[in-house]
Amino acid sequence: MVKLTIDGKKVEVEEGTTILQAAEKLEIPIPTLCYHPLLEPYAACRVCMVELKGETCKLVPSCNTKVAEGMEIETKSERAVKARKLNLELIMARAPAAEKVQELAKEMGIEKTRFEIIDPDEKCILCGLCVRTCEEIVGANAISFANRGKDRMVFTPYGEPSEACIGCTACAFFCPTEAITFEDIHKRLVVHEEMELGPSTAVRVPIRQAVPMVPFIDEDSCIHFKTGECKICERVCEKEAINHEMEDEEIEVEVGSIILASGFKSFDASRIPAYGYGRYENVITALEFEKLVNASGPTSGKILMTNGNEPQAVGIVHCVGSRDKKYNEYCSRVCCMYSLKFAHLLKEKTNAEVYDFYIDMRCFGKGYEEFYHRLMKEGTNFIRGRVSEVTDMPLTEKEEGKLIIRVEDTLLGEIRRIPVDMVILATGLEPGIDQNEIAKVFNISCSQDSFFLERHPKLAPVSTFSDGIFLAGACQSPKDIPDTVAQAGAAASQALALADKGTFELEPITAVINEELCAGCQLCVSLCPFTAINYNAEKGISEINDALCKGCGTCVSACPSGASQQKHFRDEQIFAEIEGIFIE
Amino acid sequence: MASYRLNIMICAGTGCVSNRAFQIREAFDKEIRKNSLEKEVLTVMTGCNGFCAAGPIVIVQPEGIFYQKLTVKDIPFLVEEHFLKGRPVKKFMYTPPKETEPIPKMNDISFFQKQVLIALRNKGIIDPEAIDDYIARDGYAALSKILSKMKPQDVIAEIKKSGLRGRGGGGFPTGLKWELARKAEGEQKYVICNADEGDPGAFMDRSIVEADPHTILEGMTIGAYAIGASKGFVYVRSEYPLAVERMHNAIAQSKEYGLLGDNILESGFNFDVDVIQGAGVFVCGEETSMIASIEGKIGEPKPRPPYPVEKGLWGSPTNINNVETWANVPAIILRGSDWFSKIGTKTSKGTKVFSVAGKIKDAGLVEVPMGLTLGEIIYDVAGGIHSDKKFKAVLIGGPSGGCLPADCLGLPVDYESLTKAGAMMGSGGLVVADEDNCMVEMARYFLNFTKDESCGKCTPCREGNAAMLDILTRITQGEGTMEDLDLLEDLAHAIKDTALCGLGNTAPNPVLTTLRYFRDEYIAHIKDKKCPAHECRQLNTYTIDEERCVSEGHGCDVCRRNCAYDAIMGEKGKAHRINQDKCAKCGVCYEVCKFAAVKVD
Amino acid sequence: MTHENFEPKLVGFLCTWCSYTGADLAGTARMDYAPNMRVIRVMCSGRVDPQFVLKAFKEGADGVLISGCHPGDCHYQEGNYKALRRHRLLSKLLEQLGIEKERFRLEWVSAAEGAKFQKVCNEFTEEIRNMGPLNLNGGIHEQAKA
């Protein structure tokens, strides 16, 4: 530990501490510009100078001078203050537009600079924070200083966009004067995260309503995974809760029942090229619109196009990817209602003209039909017809700069072209991408459209053909929230009932393997669809798990030695039946 | 080994070379061949003799006859008279001003009398490209002495005892620096020779490297042995191609002789040297910038501590010394620290090489013992002020130095005295100013250089120097105010206090010393809008003394004919007059008037 | 050989979950169909052992039907596929024995397809009627007599 005096106050700090840090401990403020606690001190702005008293009094930069035993420091001595003020005046002349500098000047009592201002719009104070960040923290080394003396500036090799830049925007983050900014190269003001355009923070919470509210590290945006450096988050986390080396863990849990609620996937609207998703900036999907309208979205809830303006006309296209022989034949159930919700929100938040293109209006629930009528009164234009295409090629002057929706209005019996600014595609619900893999793992079946198959469409909507595995939600079929909640409750109660019963009902018609007849050929083991048969290596025979056996009899008919027999459907019994048929 | 009756040592320093020293050699060789003297007479190109004002210089050994200001035309006569007939030619010798008889021998000439040659002990005597010459002059004897008889600690003790201080300008005790480097932790250590010599017009280091590269190598090897370094670098500025070449050559020759590289002189000690060229940046003469440059990074200083002796090149302990410092080392080791410490003053031992330039009669390179006064150097060694004008100031230390007035002529040349006076020993540049030099302009001139060379990293040097230059320029143009003067002084102090490296710390020195000793000139520029030395032409008013023009010059009309601005009116035979509105103050009329009829004010 | 007054004897192995229920439905819906089909209920069409088919023919069946759930719908997942495989192989084998493949039929009847069951029964009966009795037992002797 080192003892020193600052401004007459004594302080004791660890060896290796700088004067600035020691002053911080005493809450003595010293102005700085090029200093940042996360970077190595640069000591270039010379605004943090303090006076070191002693045999030869001299001024030293407090940000990088390490303390020594018995040091006597004056932070507000006349000499130090004068020098600091002069240096700040010089910086004011270099970068008159830098707000931070003006603030500091006000604090120090400097009204204006006596020195010549060359560029009144200059903000860069050459503090080097951006360059040092890119070198020390990010490890990309994409920018550096060029030229010397007064011509010094932050630059990229040859002034070209640097190849080494990973677009992390850390330089802009550390810049104290907003001299470095970043913008979308297409100059978009609204960028949809789902389109994965534009940088997102590597450390963030999944959504504002996440439970638990624990941030995660997005490997794709994280600088450490791109350059091997950074790890600032680890440095600042007091609880040491960050570990970049975390790998996925496989955990084995033994359970008695399983509820599958693996959800759905949105229909990929780019599969319908005629609608222009992915080609036209302002054609967005329903989920993207949900994000847009949400207060935690890219525009804080304002409905804006990518150029930052409000749309004058919006078209909502139903049945995108649903009720379509080319994509999915089924109806996705929820789209009509959410489209009506969008229409309502648009009317509420903007003055836009709203067009709703539907085939049928499916308002099956409580209050749904009434909502539809309300919208009709609000002035949404409902056009009955499946939209054939969205195009930006104008045929008339009115259509210039607009997206034109081309549709057959089946009520009018005409083909219409409706110019709009924004198109919202009501994409349908599809089974998740790995639906079939999950089905295989859990040994359940999928129906034709790949949603999970329930045991009985009317009487057993939450159970599957495998005992103990239940279904809930959109993985079983498209449904909205009330239905999902109901189904979830049902699945939960069935699972609980199973656990609660204490007893388990077995099928009476299970198969049994006669140990003496069984040769251990294991043919039955692979045939059993319920994996109810296990080969006992010790005994050399196959054994049937009564609890799992459903009594289909497949193993029985396949068994070459007749060791497997189905209770109440034994071979002899069936032979007897056959004989009985032919008795005259 | 051949032996010659006569050795013709031809000075091949820059000045003499630009005055056709090589052509002179060719002429000699031609005459020698013509007279079949090849076996008797040898011509040798040597390093800079030092008496640059008298160049081209030739010294005939072993007699030691000194010839100066030779031209190619003179050579045939010289060869015939001196080499064949044995009659040294008086008219080519040096005759001091106000005297009639020439001085034949070099060491009798006042320029050389007060000099004590240690760093430059071999100049003019050896062929810098022949290692044998160097060895014949006790070269590498010091190295063999330490490798066989002394331990590294002994070497350091000897250097410490000698009192040798860094000759690059800082004056840090060399022995102490070596000791710190030795003590520092690190397996790999480095030694570097600073041959960047960025001071404009300075050529001390250049002369040493070009005249005697081996003394540097020997010094570095001794230093490396003392510190425990196995690798050395000579950082030469690219603007010295001859020095680079001579260094490469010397290294190759040393290696060949086993005096450099692995297992030097069979002692088991390994030391290798590489030459690194600078890239035209003054700040790279500063230790940390030089290290950054060698590492391939931008030549920018780093805050110290940590000092290079602890953490230098690639993080390893590195000892950097100036060319002149290294050049002294073999002599100290060979002749002993006692001998060395007897030369110089109590605190500044040994000698210092100065390049004396400016308004001086005998400009050139001199090596004098420390303690000699400024006056002695300027008047006794360098012959006094050119054209016998009045001495005004001497600037020591180049753009980092200070301007000292006549009052300081009695100051002994040593580190402490000069610093106390506000100047700096620096690397040894001495520029003499006379009554015709404007001190404000002098400060402005040097500040222009330092501002240009500022690396731009820290605020005070980057912005402050430019601001100071701004103010000085305005003052020299007659647009300065008294507030400017205060601001200038404040700036100078602030920059000196807060700059990050030596360049910034010392850039205000010319300003501060001129403000201290020549403040009246500043005030004249500001209040009277006049330049007392008439150097700031914009402030001059040129008038013609019409009486004199007629009585002495008879209206010769020369001035009017030479005026490019049509500002002079008059007819031949009649008095002439200057039209002030058109006068551009170029001063040409003043210079061409043979009758001193043009007055300047 | 005479085919007059020949009433085919048909045996049908119906799976409980789909086909048997479908047949049940035909009954409750009062659908008219040929009475020649004698039904044996099994849990799954995959339970049907080839021995059963052979036994049926041996006992005097003129035609044998296996009916199960539609592919993909089997209550026991894959039993009907096994029935399918066995049917194909067995047909080839039966042909070797002189039993025409038309006499051994595999159908998919779901629990809702009462009408289909009716159709299958009627069609099968007519087909076998036209083909005549199989007469596996003593068939040769009859021919020898004739």
DSSP letters, B361-409, are: SS-EEEEEETT-BHHIIIIIIS-SBGGG--EEEEEESGGGSEEEEGGGG
> Among partner residues A64, A90, A148, which is closest to B467 by beta-carbon distance?
A90
- Can you tell me whether residue B137 is helix, strand or coil? coil
Residue A369 tokens, joined: 């039909």
Fold type of domain B351-434: Ubiquitin-like (UB roll) (3.10.20)
Lowest mean per-residue pLDDT among A496-510, C42-56, C57-71:
A496-510
Query: Taking 70 as the threshold, does the pLDDT of residue A307 lie above it?
Result: yes
Tokens found for residue A271: 């599969």
Q: What are B468's two structure tokens?
A: 């100071």
C59/A557 Cβ within 8 A? no
Chain A: closest CA distance from residue B372 (Å)? 29
- Which residues make Cβ contacts (< 8 Å) with residue A293, sequence separation at least 6? A301, A303, A342, A345, A349
Do A and C make contact via 3 or more CB pairs under 8 A? The reply is yes
- Indicate yes or no: CB of C77 within 8 angstroms of CB of A529: yes
pLDDT for A159 equals 85
DSSP string, B532-595: TTS-SGGG--EEE-HHHHHHTT-S--HHHHH-TT--EE--TTS--EE-TTT-----HHHHH-TT
Q: How many Å apart are CA B296 and CA A144, to the nearest integer? A: 14
Question: B300, B419, B487, B497: best mutation site toward chain A, by most A Cβ within 10 Å?
Answer: B497
Position C43 scores a pLDDT of 92
Q: Tens digits of per-residue pLDDT, B149-198?
A: 999 999 999 999 999 999 988 899 999 999 999 999 999 999 999 999 98
Mean pLDDT over A540-556 rounds to 89
d(CA A449, CA A457): 15
Residue C25 has pLDDT above 80, yes or no: yes
The alpha-helical segments, DSSP class H, found in C7-138 are: 21-28, 50-59, 79-96, 114-131
User: C145 falls in which pLDDT band (50, 70, 90)?
Assistant: very low
d(CA B215, CA B205): 12
Sign of the C-alpha dihedral computed for residues A164, A166, A168 and A172 taken in this order: positive
Percent of chain A with pLDDT over 70: 97
Q: How far is B581 from chain A (nearest CA, A)?
A: 30
Cβ burial A485-519 (10 Å sphere, 16+ → b, else e):
eebbebbbebbeeeeeeeeeeebebbbbbeeeebe
Residue of A168 and A509 predicted with greater confidence: A509
CB contact under 8 A, A83 and B498: yes
- Tell which of C76, C87, C89 to mutate to test the A interface (max A CBs under 10 Å): C76
Is A150–B467 a contact, with Cβ atoms under 8 angstroms apart?
Answer: no
Three-state DSSP state, B499:
coil
Chain A contact for C60 (CB, 8 A cutoff): yes
| The CATH number of domain B6-108, selected from 3.60.15.10, 3.40.50.300, 3.40.30.10, 3.40.1010.10 | 3.40.30.10
Q: Where are the domains of chain B?
A: 6-108, 131-341, 351-434, 439-528, 540-600
Per CB-CB distance under 8 Å, the chain C contacts of A556 are 47, 49
C40 vs A557: CB contact, 8 Å cut-off? no
C46 to chain A, any CB pair closer than 8 A? The answer is yes
d(CA B601, CA B588): 14
Write the CATH number of the domain with boundaries B131-341.
3.40.50.11540
Backbone angles phi, psi at A204, to 5 degrees: -155, 165
Q: Does residue B544 register a pLDDT over 50?
A: yes
Considering only CB atoms, which chain B residues are within 8 Å of A126? 456, 459, 462
b/e map B145-154, b = 16+ CB within 10 Å: ebbeebebee
**Which of A94-98, A115-119, A199-203, A420-424 has the weakest average pLDDT?**
A199-203
Predicted confidence (pLDDT) per residue in A566-577, tens digit: 999 999 999 999
Cβ of B546: how many Cβ atoms within 10 Å? Answer: 15
Pick C49's closest partner by Cβ from A550, A557, A581. A557
Q: Assign domain B439-528 to a CATH class.
A: mainly alpha
User: From the CA of A521, how many Å to the nearest CA of chain C?
Assistant: 18
Cβ neighbors of A474 (< 8 A, separation 6 or more) are A263, A264, A429, A484
Do the Cβ atoms of A331 and A370 come closer than 8 Å?
Answer: no
Please state the length of chain C.
146
- Give the max Cα distance, chain A: 132
Q: Do C77 and A448 touch (CB under 8 A)?
A: no
At B466 the pLDDT is 94
**What would the two tokens of residue B107 be?**
């060491």
Give the type of residue at B354: F
Q: Number of A:B CB contacts under 8 A?
A: 96
Residues of chain B with pLDDT > 70: what percent? Answer: 100
Give the CATH class of B540-600. Answer: alpha beta
User: SS3 helix, strand, coil % of chain C, rounded to 5?
Assistant: 50, 15, 35
Task: Tell me which H or E stretch contains A289.
Answer: helix A286-293
With vertex at residue B189, the alpha carbon angle to CA B186 and CA B193, rounded to the nearest 5 degrees, is 150
What pLDDT shows up at residue A198?
Answer: 46
Mutate to test the interface with B, among A86, A88, A101, A145 (most CBs of B within 10 A): A86
Look up residue A280 and give its DSSP letter: B
List the single range of B559-573, C44-58, C129-143 with lowest mean pLDDT: C129-143
Residue A106, pLDDT > 80, answer yes
User: Distance of alpha carbon A441 from its chain centroid, rounded?
Assistant: 27
Average pLDDT over residues A537-566: 90
Q: How confident is the model at residue A100 (pLDDT cuts 50, 70, 90)?
A: very high
The per-residue pLDDT for range A142-191, each reduced to its tens digit, is 999 998 889 999 998 888 888 888 888 888 889 999 888 877 666 666 66
Chain A interface, best mutation among C10, C20, C36, C43, by max A CB count within 10 A: C43
Query: Which pLDDT belongs to residue A191?
Result: 60
pLDDT of residue A200: 61
| Type of residue numbered B64 | G
Smallest CA-to-CA distance from A176 within A225, A211, A139, A127 is with A127
What is the H or E stretch that residue A440 is in? helix A435-442
The count of C-alpha atoms lying within 13 angstroms of the C-alpha of A6, restricted to the half-sphere facing its C-beta, is 23
User: Using CA atoms, how far apart are residues B84 and B37, in angstroms rounded to an integer?
Assistant: 9
Please tell me if residue A442 touches chain C, with a CB cutoff of 8 Å: no
Q: Average of pLDDT values for A4-23?
A: 92
pLDDT at C4: 64
Q: What is the pLDDT of residues A338-386, one digit of tens each?
A: 999 999 999 999 999 999 999 999 999 999 999 999 999 999 999 999 9
C134 has pLDDT over 70: yes
Q: What is the mean pLDDT of chain A?
A: 89
| Domains located in chain C, CATH noted | 10-132 (3.40.50)
> Residue A45 in contact with residue A127, Cβ under 8 Å?
yes
Nearest to C77 among A465, A577, A579 (CB): A465
How close does chain C come to A360, measured CA to CA in Å?
A: 29
- Residues 112-131, chain A, touching B (beta carbon < 8 A): 114-116, 126, 128
Strands (E), A127-221: 144-146, 153-155, 203-204, 216-217
> B236-283: per-residue pLDDT in tens?
999 999 899 999 999 999 999 999 999 999 899 999 999 999 988 899
Mean pLDDT of chain B: 91
The pLDDT of residue C111 is 79
Task: State yes or no: chains C and B have 3 or more CB pairs below 8 A.
Answer: no
Q: How far apart are CA C79 and CA C62, in angstroms?
A: 25
Mean pLDDT of B230-241: 94
C7 touches chain A (CB under 8 A): no
Q: How far out from the chain centre does Cα C4 lie?
A: 22
Min Cα distance A214 → chain B (Å) is: 42
Residue A330 has pLDDT above 90, yes or no: yes
Least confident of A445-454, B137-146, B495-504: A445-454
A582/C59 Cβ within 8 A: yes
- List phi, psi (to 5°) of A560: -70, -25
d(CA A174, CA A182): 12
Strand partners, A387: A407
Query: pLDDT over 90 for what percent of chain B?
Result: 58
Per-residue exposure over B191-205, b if at least 16 CB sit within 10 Å of its own CB, e if not: bbbbbbbbbeebbbb
**Given this model, what pLDDT does residue A192 score?**
57
